[in-house]
Amino acid sequence: MRKSGKKSRLKLQIINKSALIRLAVLLAILVISSIWVWWMMFWMPEKSYQGQLPPLKTAEITLQKFLQQDLQKLAVDIGIRNNSQYKKLNQTKDFLITSLTQTGYEIKQQEYKIDGKSYYNIEVEKKGIKKPEEIIVIGSHYDSAFTSPGANDNGTGAVATLELARIFANQKTNRTIRFVEFTNEEPPFFWTENMGSLVYAKKLHQQGEKIVAMLSLETMGYFSDQPGSQQYPFPIGLLYPNQGNFISFIGNIKSSDLVKKTIGSFRRHVQFPSQGTALPSWIPGVGWSDQWSFWQQDYQGIMVTDTAPYRYQYYHTSEDTIDKVDFEKLARVVNGLVKVISDLAA
């Protein structure tokens, strides 16, 4: 009887010890996983700028003027530009080609057809000196959604890409930079085989191009200091400010390093609020632009954005007009991207 009791107690001790070990291992896994999630998804280098914005620099004042002139052409003179307004979509394409040609670039057009109509991605390239095979793509879509004149979405991204191409036209970089204006990002082509950036990214992959970074410039011109003006998909809002006064750098998990690299550069060079995150691509909003197409081809890509529908109430409506765009802040952001691209291309 005594031996049997001792054996039972010993067996119980062994079971308890084994349970404690399993619990300790589980806790260790949870701690390590939490640290990994925080590091990969939420930790960002440097600090977001806080405080009053400094006066615009001379270069930013000039940039503001050009951005406004270009957006006037896209969102006012042309207006709605998509497959339902095919002539206006082509007018936009012609304007971008003329502007880039006047800057001195050789234009490459990627033509593809949908229902017998031709659509065009527009590409210009600044060849790198020391590492020309390593390519950075700066891209945006120039079409607008439904009956929207598309001032912010995505006229701001399209004119930002145009101005960045102009700025880098006479600069020397070690890596190659390609500036691309994509067609057909908006419905009904969004996330389909006819999405312009997907057509483009597939071609890069087929040719074995070495794309080291892709920056998608998307809906970049609306800012508000009003509390509650910034929304997020749950539970992301628990970690970020509720004022929509910042520019955001967003990528998927595989692009985490690129998010950190770009926002770190932006924060070092620019006095403007910024937030960054790398999230699973299934979270609503994370893949809502042309960087998604590059993820499909296993390239790293991020979106630079004001967060679009999570801040901008006029998203995809006829009220997405030029008067909603804050050109002073847009100029600050684009000027900051000049520094970011220079660092990436070094």
pLDDT classification of 3: cutoffs 50, 70, 90: low
Residue range(s) defining the domain that contains residue 17: 1-43
CA distance 121 to 181: 6
The total number of structural domains that make up the chain: 2
Same-domain status, 112 and 34: no
CA distance 266 to 337: 7
Same-domain status, 54 and 70: yes
Percent of the chain with pLDDT over 90: 86
* Whether residue 235 has pLDDT greater than 50: yes
pLDDT classification of 28: cutoffs 50, 70, 90: confident
pLDDT classification of 19: cutoffs 50, 70, 90: confident
Nearest to 201 by CA among 118, 123, 277, 258: 123
* Whether residue 11 has pLDDT greater than 80: no
CA distance 110 to 116: 15
CATH number at residue 73: 3.40.630.10
Note the pLDDT tens digit of each residue in 241-293.
999 999 999 999 999 999 999 999 999 999 999 999 999 999 999 999 999 99
Same-domain status, 300 and 204: yes
Same-domain status, 33 and 76: no
Same-domain status, 1 and 108: no
Sequence-separated (6 or more) residues with CB below 8 Å from residue 290 = 139, 140, 141, 182, 185, 195, 196, 197, 214, 216, 218, 301
Report phi then psi at 247, rounded to 5: -100, 145
Same-domain status, 16 and 160: no
* Whether residue 13 has pLDDT greater than 70: no
Same-domain status, 33 and 78: no
Q: 221 by DSSP, 3-state: which?
A: coil
* Bridge partners of residue 276, in order along the sequence: 249
Residue 194: the pLDDT is 98
Note the pLDDT tens digit of each residue in 138-164.
999 999 999 999 999 999 999 999 999
Same-domain status, 287 and 147: yes
Same-domain status, 110 and 144: yes
pLDDT classification of 197: cutoffs 50, 70, 90: very high
Same-domain status, 296 and 154: yes
Note the pLDDT tens digit of each residue in 85-132.
999 999 999 999 999 999 999 999 999 999 999 999 999 999 999 999
Same-domain status, 24 and 60: no
pLDDT classification of 4: cutoffs 50, 70, 90: low
Same-domain status, 175 and 301: yes
CA distance 140 to 215: 8
